[in-house]
Structure 1
Amino acid sequence: MRQTWRALCASTATVVLAAFAAGAQAETVNVGVTVPTTGPAAILGIGARNAISLFPKQVAGFDVNFKVLDDASDTTTSVKNANQYLSEGVDLIVGSSTSPQSLAIIEAIAGRETPLIALGASSRLVLPMDDKRKWVFKTAANDSLMAQAIIEHMAAHNVKTLGFIGFADAYGDSWLNEITPLAKKHGIDLRVTERFHSKDNSVTGQVLRVIAADVDAVLVAGSGTPAALPHATLTERGYKGLVYQTHGAANEDFLRVGGKALNGGFLPVGPNLVWEQLPDDYPTKAASAKFVPMYEAKFGEKSRSNFAAQAYDVLLLLERALPEAAKVAKPGTKEFRIALRDALEKTSDLRANAGVFNMTPEDHSGLDARARVMVKIQDGEWVLDKAAK
């Protein structure tokens, strides 16, 4: 009888412990996402929203609720959405898709001890590291990586003089700051700098001044479909030099809007965009071979974009980080948010769509040269430039 009683107690304890563990893991993780699904940057945010819609209900065994709000490509609305999420006690904020919006969110949530995964590209989102940025991570490669690829490509094509036409915002500022010292280092003279706004209907004046400077190449530093306008205008005005775009222009709508006027242009892109053209041993190919077909099966052929892939990489980061954070505390608590931040910072050798993530306390982007490839625009297609390194 005594042995039977002991066996019953042991069995009951096992059941209770199992139920406790299951209950702990069943705690819901809440993630607030703010991206632009309307406004000038909508093409970026729609890709991110679409990718997030593919996320499973459970991530690494944890129930995760992703709530998505449209910030209308507006910094004020981005901040409003972020503050709403803070009031709701989310465990993580994701967004926004542009650097100016992401920077505004960083300022708004400073001191609130809630991690943010930004989808913008500017290195200013994570550098220089300080008390604000220690809570910020990003899935898009820093502009510096992409700028280096562009300048090296220019040098290899004997470019000696350069013109710049960039957004009149933080994105354009970041690119100008990146390209200026790199151009000087490679003996390229940055002769003329022009700026434009994403909502502008004409950039004829800026383009004519750039052409008059008689430069070998022009860099257009814009994102989404608005980046097509200076490029197309350069072609229409008979410019014969090389035209480069930044990775912020890498989407199908950009190709559609610019049409054949974009032919011959070069830009660095995330490897997922041309994953079929990559060598089989490229470290990101397996992740993209899974994600891109799944994405295009739902949203249509050629609907892929860097912006969608970078948003999907949030899922891959969470698959690593959530189990580690849950060892420390339950979702919905300050302790869990701190643990989640710490776990994200320890991400290593994560072979994702945007590149291979190796986060450190000093580097919350964690990407290297494997996060970029150079492509040429040809008849509405991205063609891998196999000669570029």
Structure 2
Amino acid sequence: MCFGFSKHARRRLLQTLALVGALTAAAATAQKAERPVVVVGAVVSTTGPAATLGIPEKKALELAEALAKEDASLPFVPKLVVYDDGSDPTRAVNAVRKLANDDKAAVLICCTTTPGSMAVLDAVKSLKTLNISMASAASVVEPVAERFWTFKTPMTDRMQIAYTMETMSNQGVRRVAYLGLEDAYGEAGWNEFRVLAKDYGLEIVASERFARGDSNLTPQALKVRQAVPDAVYVHSIPPSSVLAHQTLGRVGFSKAIFHSAGAANSGFLNVAKGAVDGAYVVSGVIEVYDQLPINHPLRPALEGFAQEYGRRFPGEQPGLFAGQGWDAGKLAMMAIGAALRAGAKPTEPEVFRAVVRDQMERIQGHAGSNGVFNFSKRDHLGLDKSGIGMLKVVGGRFRLQSN
């Protein structure tokens, strides 16, 4: 069909259309070239004893990457590279080195656990690459002068235990026992527990430890019961936190049992299958975001995250550990974006990594899943207390008791 055009006119029309197409393609190519691909490397525990923590962290990181790729306002395109450390600190160190040296990661997110996060400190320092840990121990980022390259997203053991002890004190508890893991996580918890007890007028009458792989905790539970505490604090993660709780019940302990935030996840409830009703668990309020007051400062951010998470993973709701991965991913994207806007170039990796770290330290007022982040040169957690709460297991579900 000629539509009434002359051959000359048709030729000019075709030439014009070809030119427009070429210009459109060139513009798209130029736009893509203006958005460099930047690698974000993550090491999570998707297998091994900490898998109930690491699996939701990985899912949240994948969600953060997917949404960032859709965000045309970002000056870069993220590429997430994830390795599983099998809950093994030695594997975590190897993975961190591989991410920085082979995959050219501009930011590291490692690790799921405190032992892994502590193990990689020297590697992160030598690699001069920002690392965002998802572990709870304050020692991961303190002292800040020795943790120049390391930041973290979860509330610290100190924050968790202080809030737990305040709850204990309000309930009239005076004699307490500690039952925790015999690794870096358990040691960090014990160090905070024994110091803070005095501040809350609590007497520690027993302290027992167990390994993550132990299948029989009866000797420890018996010693705890014989000390006649008013309450027991368990500093562990599933499945050992569930075993500790059940064993205390089997040996006849019937008073209050409090758990660290390591138990604040669906794995704790699923493994227990109704056997931990009555347990108190200190946690981020993400576990019960729909029970928060409408005017709570974190509710909008938590509802938005939960909606996006549910869309990507139908039938699932994000918990505390998904939130820690989400916060780490979002903060990494923010720091990278700020570095690019400041003029840093990914083609100069050493300089770029240094600028990304500096921009991370400048993030202020970011409402995350664990609270509001305000980082500084003196504080590489920068988390307020708006995200911490005390939960109680009722009918196999977490119920908010206080915030």
TM-score, L = length of structure 1: 0.91
Confirm or deny: 8 A CA contact 2:283 2:389 kept in the other structure: yes
**Superposition deviation, residue 364 in structure 1:** 0.7
**Superposition deviation, residue 109 in structure 1:** 2.3
SS at match of 1:283: coil
Mapped partners of 2:56, 2:116: distance in 1: 16
Aligned to 2:6: none
**Superposition deviation, residue 300 in structure 1:** 4.7
**Superposition deviation, residue 187 in structure 1:** 1.2
Judged with a 3 Å threshold, the aligned counterparts in structure 2 of structure 1 residues 338 and 279 are, in CA distance, closer, same or farther, namely: same
Judged with a 3 Å threshold, the aligned counterparts in structure 2 of structure 1 residues 107 and 152 are, in CA distance, closer, same or farther, namely: same
Q: Does 1:366 align with 2:382?
A: yes
Mapped partners of 2:359, 2:31: distance in 1: 21
Aligned to 1:27: 36
Equivalent residues in 2 for 1:30-179 (5 A)?
A: 30-54=39-63, 55-56=65-66, 58=69, 60-88=74-102, 89-131=104-146, 133-179=147-193
Moved more, 119-128 or 324-333: 324-333
Confirm or deny: 8 A CA contact 2:114 2:135 kept in the other structure: yes
Mapped partners of 1:25, 1:335: distance in 2: 19
Mapped partners of 1:240, 1:182: distance in 2: 25
**Superposition deviation, residue 380 in structure 1:** 1.2
**Superposition deviation, residue 286 in structure 1:** 1.1
Aligned to 1:8: none
Aligned to 1:4: none
Confirm or deny: 8 A CA contact 2:50 2:113 kept in the other structure: yes
Confirm or deny: 8 A CA contact 1:251 1:304 kept in the other structure: no
2:351 is aligned, of 325, 332, 335, to 335
Equivalent residues in 2 for 1:305-320 (5 A)?
A: 305-320=319-334
Q: Percent identity?
A: 33
Mapped partners of 2:173, 2:315: distance in 1: 36
**Superposition deviation, residue 266 in structure 1:** 0.8
Judged with a 3 Å threshold, the aligned counterparts in structure 2 of structure 1 residues 205 and 91 are, in CA distance, closer, same or farther, namely: same
SS at match of 1:37: coil
Confirm or deny: 8 A CA contact 1:220 1:245 kept in the other structure: yes
Q: In the alignment, residue 345 of structure 1 is paired with which amino acid?
A: E
Mapped partners of 2:30, 2:308: distance in 1: 33
Aligned to 2:18: none
Q: In the alignment, residue 123 of structure 2 is paired with which amino acid?
A: A
Q: Does 1:354 align with 2:363?
A: no
1:211 is aligned, of 225, 228, 234, to 225
2:246 is aligned, of 228, 232, 237, to 232
Return the index of the structure with the highest Cα Rg: 2
Aligned to 1:7: none
**Superposition deviation, residue 226 in structure 1:** 1.9
Judged with a 3 Å threshold, the aligned counterparts in structure 2 of structure 1 residues 380 and 355 are, in CA distance, closer, same or farther, namely: same
Moved more, 21-30 or 252-261: 21-30
**Superposition deviation, residue 320 in structure 1:** 2.8
Confirm or deny: 8 A CA contact 1:231 1:243 kept in the other structure: yes
Deviations 1:281-301 (A, max 9, x none): 212111110112332344354
Judged with a 3 Å threshold, the aligned counterparts in structure 2 of structure 1 residues 296 and 199 are, in CA distance, closer, same or farther, namely: farther
SS at match of 1:321: helix
Q: In the alignment, residue 194 of structure 1 is paired with which amino acid?
A: E
Aligned to 2:203: 189
Mapped partners of 2:124, 2:383: distance in 1: 25
Moved more, 314-323 or 159-168: 314-323
Mapped partners of 1:91, 1:242: distance in 2: 46
Mapped partners of 1:20, 1:147: distance in 2: 53
Q: In the alignment, residue 348 of structure 1 is paired with which amino acid?
A: Q
Confirm or deny: 8 A CA contact 1:251 1:306 kept in the other structure: yes
Over the residues paired in the alignment, what is the CA RMSD in angstroms?
A: 1.9
Judged with a 3 Å threshold, the aligned counterparts in structure 2 of structure 1 residues 316 and 289 are, in CA distance, closer, same or farther, namely: same
2:393 is aligned, of 370, 377, 380, to 377
Number of residue pairs aligned between Structure 1 and Structure 2: 370
SS at match of 2:268: helix
Mapped partners of 1:275, 1:26: distance in 2: 35
Aligned to 1:258: 272
Equivalent residues in 2 for 1:230-309 (5 A)?
A: 230-301=244-315, 303-309=317-323
**Superposition deviation, residue 22 in structure 1:** 4.3
Q: In the alignment, residue 82 of structure 1 is paired with which amino acid?
A: V
Confirm or deny: 8 A CA contact 1:355 1:371 kept in the other structure: yes
Deviations 1:32-54 (A, max 9, x none): 11111111111111011111221
**Superposition deviation, residue 376 in structure 1:** 0.6
Q: In the alignment, residue 318 of structure 1 is paired with which amino acid?
A: A
Mapped partners of 2:29, 2:148: distance in 1: 33
TM-score, L = length of structure 2: 0.88
Q: In the alignment, residue 109 of structure 1 is paired with which amino acid?
A: V
